[in-house]
Homo-oligomer: A and B are copies of this chain.
Amino acid sequence: MTKPDKREEISRAALELIAENGFHGAPMAMIADKAGVGAGTIYRYFENKDVLITELYQDLEERMYPCIQEGYSTDKPIRERFIHLGTALLRYFIEYPLDFRYLEQFHNSPYGTDYRRDKILGDKEECHVFRDLFEEGIARQEMKNLPLVIMFSLAFGPILTVARDQILGFVSLDQVLITRSIEACWDGVKR
């Protein structure tokens, strides 16, 4: 196995195990086993488990954002743009359930909370598409005039919840249900 391949294998194994069993259900030895490397080898690629977890999350974000924004254009109407992003996000979660589960594990842990705090205070780049859309929607009076954080909750809260239900098997979403769910989210944020 070449060097970058090995790193790749470790990432894949860690993502899968953590997504399915949580951080504490994915010991380093088990990750090594699944990746087909020795336990010590992981530490040649990642300083420690915390670093592995954080880098895994950043890789995931870098995969996800471009995928969601494909075909997105700021020229289209606000509503259409909202539906585009919401649908793309929900579809992504359904298509890559491991990514979604990892995302959830991360967000519902001290890692995620700290990360989010940095992001909100530090004005990170990535989610500016969402922020821009909401700010424009509010300015044009097409969306409710509520604090951005609340708008995010109204829009993403249901998407995350519904994605979890789909992945855990509590509901089975088809194309129609996805669209209608996202349209319902729009009803929540629109003026």
Which A residues fall within an 8 A CB radius of B? 22, 24, 104-105, 108-110, 113, 116-117, 120, 144, 146-147, 149-150, 152-154, 156-162, 165, 168, 170-171, 177, 180-181, 184-185, 187-190
Query: A113: shortest Cβ distance to chain B, in Å?
Result: 6
CA distance A189 to B110 in the complex (A): 32
Contacting residue for A188 out of B120, B168, B171, B187, CB 8 A: B187
Are B181 and A146 in contact, with the CB atoms below 8 A? yes
Are B120 and A170 in contact, with the CB atoms below 8 A? yes
Closest Cβ neighbor of A105 among chain B residues: B108
Are B150 and A157 in contact, with the CB atoms below 8 A? no
* B-side contacts of A170, CB under 8 Å: 116-117, 120, 149
Query: A174: shortest Cβ distance to chain B, in Å?
Result: 11
* B-side contacts of A165, CB under 8 Å: 149-150, 153
Closest Cβ neighbor of A107 among chain B residues: B108
* B-side contacts of A160, CB under 8 Å: 157, 161
Whether A171 contacts B184 in the complex (CB less than 8 A), given A157-B162, A165-B153, comes out as no
Extra 6 A-B pairs, beta carbons < 8 Å, given A22-B109, A24-B24, A153-B161: A150-B184, A153-B165, A154-B181, A156-B161, A187-B190, A188-B188
